[in-house]
Amino acid sequence: MRELTYAEAVREALRLEMRRDPSVFILGEDVGKFGGCFGVTGDLWQEFGEDRVRDTPISETAIIGAAVGAAATGMRPVPEIMFCDFLTVCMDQLVNQAAKMRYMFGGKAKIPMVVRAPVGGGISAAAQHSQSLEAWFTHVPGLKVVMPSTPADAKGLLIASIRDDNPVMFFEHKLLYPVKGEVPEGEYVVPLGKADVKREGSDVTVVATSLMVMKALEAAEKLAAEGVSVEVVDPRTLVPLDEETILASVKKTGRVVIAHEAVTRSGFGAEIAAIIAEKALDYLDAPIKRVGAKPAPVPFAGVLEKYVLPGTDDIVAAVKEII
């Protein structure tokens, strides 16, 4: 099977859906001729023109406001927010409008929009450009939340998200954009709400999201050399969440580590831990462990950034604590 980078897989999904459905269009800062801040939209502007790949003013409020209006009147917008940190500027449009309109209009209004936003650190972009804020949006009824960790998942989940009639928050880690992986050609859909077991194991389950899936797989390799068998589960979508796959893995191994790059305190890992405690407590042979960022703004200096953000060694240490 051919290999694409994560960024290429996202662009292929956009291209295929824009060719299939003329109501799909992209809008955001520098998404057009420039090709996107991280180069993801690439040459789509050349194929589809400025009407369907729209450069906007530097106003996240305007970007999301326009997308909500377009979605409510029959279009399928895919707005890009250059860094997920800037979602803070347009929270009213997302939380009080997009998430609630279908409910408040008794199902007569649909808001089929996908908000793409890069998350995470690792590039010395400092405190205002390095956050992982996905847990905020999982708390809001009416929003779906997606976090692909591989190129194939990025393509399949983005296509599924664009076809969904609800607002979807689609989070892409910056460090995953250059990562290559096998990606099926043509139409390829990964359903929302279905987790994936990235590695089979028997001693401990690591539930990881986004970039931390790669870190978990690296940790699993290190631990395998010491005789520890690690199962890695990637939820892929946080809302809806595939509880069944996660619980089945925990019941099999009896131990669980939950890893995400977001700050540990009140991160989505806490929700997963609560679900496991409520529904699989009798199967646990050790306490649930969480791995996440320290409760500090992400520093600019690389050595400090590495200290604040979680990595492979943190997952290894957490596993060893409960084995």
Residue 129 a catalytic site member: yes
Among residues 129, 139, 173, 260, the one annotated as catalytic is 129
Per-residue DSSP letter, 192: T
| Distance in angstroms (rounded) separating the CA atoms of residues 306 and 299 | 9
Helix (H, G, I), strand (E, B) or coil at 78: strand
Residue 182 near residue 211, CB atoms below 8 Å: no
| Distance in angstroms (rounded) separating the CA atoms of residues 154 and 208 | 16
| Distance in angstroms (rounded) separating the CA atoms of residues 236 and 193 | 8
As annotated, the active-site residues are 129
